[in-house]
Structure 1
Amino acid sequence: MSQSTTVPYKPDISPGRSPSRWRKHLWGYLFLLPAAAVFFTFLWMPIGKGMLFSFYHIDFVKGDTFVGWDNYAKIFKDPEVGIAVRNTLYYMLLCLLIGFWVPILFAIAISEMRRFQGFARIAAYLPYVVPVVVLYGLWRWLYDPVGPINGVLTAMGLDSVLFLTDKAWSMISIVIMETWQSFGSALLIYLAAVLGIPRDWYEAAEIDGAGVWKRIRHITLPAIRSSIVLLLLLQLIATSQSFQSQFAMLDGGPNNATLTYALVVIRYAFTRQDYGTASALGVLMFLVLSLLAILQYRISNRKEA
């Protein structure tokens, strides 16, 4: 009986014939090219031009003039910029104190519900889909001196509040409005994190006699801590750029009480048409937000690990 031996196939992997890694992934790079071109054209190119324009006086008629650091010096001399920075920090603090904990509390409350949980999720998310035009009109009516909120306060024997014309209440009123409108999106993230906690942990805690508050304190909050930190950084990045509500509701008033940093950039660019100083303001904001983005990236990587 003849015995045949088979020689295993060995491909020719000589350096001259092996396809390079670039050729192997050529089609993938070609498919990425349009997206990369759009990303470069509409994101990185404007960022680069903004950094360049921050050193120029922009004049579309006579031409641009190089002014060096004069635009940055003008920023630090403008008292409105200092007011805007303080207002922005105050607004960020109010968003943390008033709005940051609302989606966490609602997510925990909904996760503890035995009935109507689906209805509660939809009801909490609905304000997020309200168009901003309708939103501002609705809350202007609610905050009106003779509106529903002041009507309830008057019926309770309390003084009416000038929500939009009192400097002490204007920023707080905007934060309350934005919290009602936007907490639904963060709620879904927190709710997914809470529902991802193993139910065995809660059952073991109940057997040991732990009540609702102890389960929340020792199980729920530690388990979603990474999501809390991540969304905290995202909120800081988002609120530091806020201007839409302040502009649409009060245009930075009363008496610059709601003037934010981003709104100052808008005023320099489109009201004063001082694009060089507006670019310098944008560069400073870009540097600060880059630090926050790097911190967020590191925390996200740590969370994945």
Structure 2
Amino acid sequence: MEQSTAVPISQSKPQTQRSGKIKRYMWGYLFLLPAIAIFTLFLWLPIFKGVMSSFYTIDFVKGDSFVGLANYKTVFQDADVLVSVKNTLYYMGLALVIGFWVPILFAVSISEMRRFQGFARVAAYLPYVVPFVVLYGVWRWLYDPVGPINAVLKSLGIGQISFMVDRAWSMISIVIMETWQSFGSAMLIYLAAVLSVPREWYEAAEIDGAGVWQRIRHITLPAIRGQILLMLMLQLIATSQGFQTQYAMLDGGPNNATLTYALLIVRYAFVRQDYGVASALGVLMFFALSILAIIQFRINNRGGVES
């Protein structure tokens, strides 16, 4: 007597559905493979290599040697590390106090303009497209002891300010320059958020007799609160990695007044050629930035970035 080999419908149906889903999404997975490969090759592998290098003394001639936590011990014993952390936190604070509100102010002001709004958008964004080489040259000239800024201060009866030499002014000068150069891109994001607010809200407020400041305070700012929180976290992450301007303008001077944490990593790697300690510094920064990224993710999940 022949035995039946038929597969029960209840067992074959889930397998058929599973194979159907795989076939349906196969091309999507194939298109993702190049991006995943590039992401792994240029991001996760360097991160893994950096973590491993932080436990070694890197020597391209004699070969690497395992030193355990010695590189991290060097980091915590180096006085320059504490100086760089303080300078980085100071730089982040200055960027918030001086520069964070500038794009919000411009975005709200431009949205309230009745004429020449397009010209104002272009004019505010233009500094962002200035090449960095030109930018640094122009601002060195502006900050020069006999430059235009000091000439104006002298005409007003104010004493000369040594922007590039005075420790009290060097970091402030950098933040002012970067604010002028980069606020245009953030302004466009805020402006898009402001223009997405329903115009009926403003019309109703005007009918009720609300002035410009009242409309901004009770309608505009609450409506873009999510974008403000998001841009705040992004700026904190960006300024914590401040390096390029400090290096190009003053190379960490005067007397380490603009020595940031990222610049110290570059010094360890390419000046002192101590790649193990540089990797240890980078790993510590990676974990610090990961905490900021987690905070941003939690804010996003709680709906803090919704308009």
Aligned twin of 1:52 = 52
Q: Report deviation, 1:15.
A: 4.8
Is 1:23–2:23 an aligned residue pair? yes
Alignment of 1:1-305 (within 5 A): 14-15=13-14, 17-18=16-17, 20=19, 21-303=21-303
Distance in 2 separating the partners of 1:60 and 1:203: 69
Amino acid at match of 1:44: W
Alignment length, in residue pairs?
294
Unaligned segments of structure 2, at least 5 residues: 1-11
Q: CA deviation at 1:302?
A: 3.2
In the alignment, the residues of structure 1 paired with residue 216 and residue 197 of structure 2 have an alpha-carbon distance, to the nearest angstrom, of: 12
Structure 1's consecutive aligned runs of 4 or more residues displaced over 4 angstroms after TM superposition are 15-19
Give CA deviations for 1:228-268 in whole Å, capped at 9, x if unaligned: 00000000000000100000000000000000000000000
Give the letter aligned to residue 207 of structure 2: I
For the residue of structure 2 that corresponds to 1:113, the secondary structure is: coil
**Displacement after TM superposition at 1:18 (Å):** 4.5
**Match of 2:147, as an amino acid?**
G
Amino acid of the residue matched to residue 63 of structure 1?
G
Q: Displacement, 1:73?
A: 0.6
In structure 2, the CA distance between the partners of 1:61 and 1:119, relative to structure 1 (3 Å rule), is same
Q: CA deviation at 1:181?
A: 0.1
Residues 251 and 206 from structure 1, CA distance in 2 versus in 1: closer, same or farther, beyond 3 angstroms? same
What SS does the aligned partner of 1:25 have? helix
Give 1:9's aligned residue.
Answer: none
Once the two structures are superposed, residues 71-99 of structure 1 have per-residue CA deviations (whole angstroms, 9 ceiling, x without a partner) of 01100100000000000000000000000
Unaligned runs of 5+ in 1: 1-12
Report how far residue 300 of structure 1 moved.
2.5
Q: Distance in 1 between matches of 2:194 and 2:301?
A: 20
Q: Secondary structure at the match of 2:273?
A: coil
Identical amino acids, percent of aligned pairs: 72
TM-score where L is the length of structure 2: 0.93
Residue identity matched to 2:236: L
SS at match of 1:46: helix
